[in-house]
C-alpha cells in the first residue's frame, strides 16, 4: 500500500495571529495549507517561512465576487479534495448598540459569518469527497455577552449555531464539524481592541483579571486545539464547542 497523500487544508484569515499558528500546526501534522486572507504581505511571509507547504490566496472575504473567483481557482488547485477547512477569518469592533451603524454590522457579519457560510458551501463537494472535517473559529462571545459587542456577539453566535447545524446535517457524509471558542488571546487584533477602550494598559489588566488562570492566551494554544480536532484522534468529536479561554466563561 502506498503512502497516504498529504492532507489538503484551507484556512481563512491565515495571516492573522491565530491563523498563522493554525497554519503552522496543520503543516506540522503533514498537511498542505491553502491560506485565504486579504493581507498579501503577511501571507507572503508565511510562504517564505513554510515553503511549498503553504499556498497563499489573497482575497478580501467581504467581497463576494472576488471570493467566488478565488474559490474557483482554489478548487482547481485542490483537485476535488479538501480534508480540513478552518473558517478562522474574523474582525472585531467595540461599539455600543446605539452607535453601531449598518455598515459596521454588515462588515462584521460579512467576515465573521457569511464568508464562512459561503466558503463551506463552495468547498462542500471537495469535503464530501474526502470525508473531511470543518473547524469554525467562533469566540467566547458566542457564549456570553459583553457591553459594546452586540454586533460581534451576534456574528460569532451565528457561526456557532451554523457549526452545530452542519454537524448534524453532514454527519451522513462522514464530515465532522466543530467550533473553537477562544477567549482573550494575545494578538494584534486584541491589542487593537484594548486601544479602542481609551487606556490600553488598564484594559489589558482588567481583561487578565477576569481570567481564572491569570493571563491572556497565546495563539498556539488555540491552534493546538484546532489541530487536535482536525486529527484522527478526534474521530468521534462532532458538534462540539471547544472553549479556550483560561476559564473565563466558567465563572
What gap in Å lies between CA 108 and CA 128, rounded to an integer?
Answer: 29
Can you spell out the DSSP letters for the chain? -PPPPPPEEEEETTTSHHHHHHHHHHHHTT-EEEEEES-HHHHHHHHHHHGGGEEEEE--TT-HHHHHHHHHHHHHHHTT--SEEEE---------GGG--HHHHHHHHIIIIIHHHHHHHHHHHHHHHHT-EEEEE--GGGTS--TT-HHHHHHHHHHHHHHHHHHHHSGGGT-EEEEEEE-SB-SHHHHHHHHHTS-HHHHHHHHHHTSTTSS-B-HHHHHHHHHHHHSGGGTT--S-EEEESTTGGG-
Kind of pairing, strands 176-182 and 32-37? unpaired
Cβ atoms 100, 150 nearer than 8 A: yes
Catalytic annotation on 152? yes
Catalytic residue among 113, 149, 152, 162: 152
Q: For residue 83, which phi and psi values (nearest 5 degrees)?
A: -90, -30
What gap in Å lies between CA 59 and CA 13, rounded to an integer?
Answer: 10
Catalytic machinery residues: 152
Amino acid at each position: 500500500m502506498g503512502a497516504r497523500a498529504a492532507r489538503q487544508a484551507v484556512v481563512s484569515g491565515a495571516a492573522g495571529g491565530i491563523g498563522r499558528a493554525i497554519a503552522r500546526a496543520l503543516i506540522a501534522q503533514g498537511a498542505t495549507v491553502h491560506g485565504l486572507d486579504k493581507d498579501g504581505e503577511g501571507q507572503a511571509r508565511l510562504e517564505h517561512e513554510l515553503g511549498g507547504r503553504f499556498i497563499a490566496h489573497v482575497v478580501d472575504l467581504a467581497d463576494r465576487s472576488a471570493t467566488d473567483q478565488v474559490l474557483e481557482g482554489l478548487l482547481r488547485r485542490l483537485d476535488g479534495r479538501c480534508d480540513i477547512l478552518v473558517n478562522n477569518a474574523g474582525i472585531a469592533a467595540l461599539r455600543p448598540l446605539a452607535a453601531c451603524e449598518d455598515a459596521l454590522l454588515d462588515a462584521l457579519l460579512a467576515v465573521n459569518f457569511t464568508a464562512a457560510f459561503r466558503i463551506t458551501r463552495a468547498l462542500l463537494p471537495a469535503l464530501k469527497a474526502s470525508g473531511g472535517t470543518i473547524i469554525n473559529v467562533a469566540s467566547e462571545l458566542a457564549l456570553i455577552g459583553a457591553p459594546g459587542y452586540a454586533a460581534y456577539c451576534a456574528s460569532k453566535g451565528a457561526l456557532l449555531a451554523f457549526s452545530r447545524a452542519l454537524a448534524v446535517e453532514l454527519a451522513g457524509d462522514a464530515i465532522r464539524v466543530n467550533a473553537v471558542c477562544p477567549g482573550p488571546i494575545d494578538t494584534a487584533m486584541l491589542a487593537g481592541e484594548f486601544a479602542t477602550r481609551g487606556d490600553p494598559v488598564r484594559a489589558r489588566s482588567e481583561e487578565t483579571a477576569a481570567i481564572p488562570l491569570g493571563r491572556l492566551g497565546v495563539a498556539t494554544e488555540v491552534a493546538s486545539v484546532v489541530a487536535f480536532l482536525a486529527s484522527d484522534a478526534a474521530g468521534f468529536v462532532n458538534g462540539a464547542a471547544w472553549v479556550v479561554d483560561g476559564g473565563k466563561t466558567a465563572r
